[in-house]
Amino acid sequence: MRGGIMTDWLEPDSFGQDQGVAASRLPFPITLTGDGVVLREWRSDDLGDLIELLDDPDIARWTPMPSPFDTEAGVAYLKRARQGRMSGQRLQLAITERGGRPLGEVLLFGIDAGLKEAELGYLVGARHRRRGLASGSLSLLSAYAGSTLKLSRLLLRIDPANTASAAVARRCGYTLTGEAPILQVGPHGPSSLDTWEMMTGHPGSRLDRLKNVAARRYGRRT
């Protein structure tokens, strides 16, 4: 699936401007708590749990994860996650119940500061599904993205055959956009991803987008 508050983070100088989250920085470290889950940073001692979570045919089917997902892949994954978090370019958090062992992952990435939008993704290990972890994590991160990061439009990319992921998106208030499918190539070959969206309700967000569409069509600037 790439497609979920109490916070504790250090605030970079370039973060939290009135215009919304800065293009290249996100808070690090961070812990989000609510909706029955605790979202925390990945740790080096999570390697064994990470391999167990991601060495899963279902995850390989719906994502571009390496398959099989072995120790080498796990070490590289945690390294990339750490680099992405330290550079402040994405939120990549382990899903837990009380801050303990990871049960899945939720992400926020691809931020467009001008449009105030970003993409989210989520996955839950096979042994931990049907417990509301994906919905709780997506809801929690979506709320944080709208209220604290001041993002107005949140996106999910989901294969239409992935009915479980689509159900999570729908449960959390996301709706299909009708945009053209996006091609993704993974271990099982190419797939087409539908785009889902949530307008966060940040004051003026939808109105501003409509105004900007009118400006592009009719030559007026807002």
pLDDT digits (tens, 9 = 90+) for 97-125: 988 999 999 999 999 989 999 999 999 99
Amino acid 198: pLDDT: 97
CATH number at residue 175: 3.40.630.30
Amino acid 153: pLDDT: 97
Amino acid 35: pLDDT: 82
Q: Is residue 45 part of a domain?
A: yes
Contact between residue 74 and residue 54 where contact means Cβ atoms under 8 Å apart: yes
pLDDT digits (tens, 9 = 90+) for 66-84: 889 999 999 999 999 999 9
Which among 57, 65, 48 has a CA at the least distance from the CA of 101? Answer: 48
Please give the tally of structural domains in the chain: 1
Indicate whether this model's pTM tops 0.85: no
Q: Is residue 8 part of a domain?
A: no
Segments of the chain with pLDDT less than 70: 1-24, 186-189, 202-222
Greatest Cα pair distance, the chain, in angstroms, is 56
Q: Is residue 81 part of a domain?
A: yes
Q: Range of 117's domain?
A: 32-218
Amino acid 3: pLDDT: 44
Q: Is residue 22 part of a domain?
A: no
Q: Is residue 121 part of a domain?
A: yes
Q: Is residue 65 part of a domain?
A: yes
Q: Is residue 149 part of a domain?
A: yes
The tokens describing 83, both together, are 């680099």
Cis ω before 102 (30° cut-off from 0): no
Amino acid 64: pLDDT: 79
Q: Is residue 20 part of a domain?
A: no
The tokens describing 27, both together, are 């808070």
Amino acid 188: pLDDT: 65
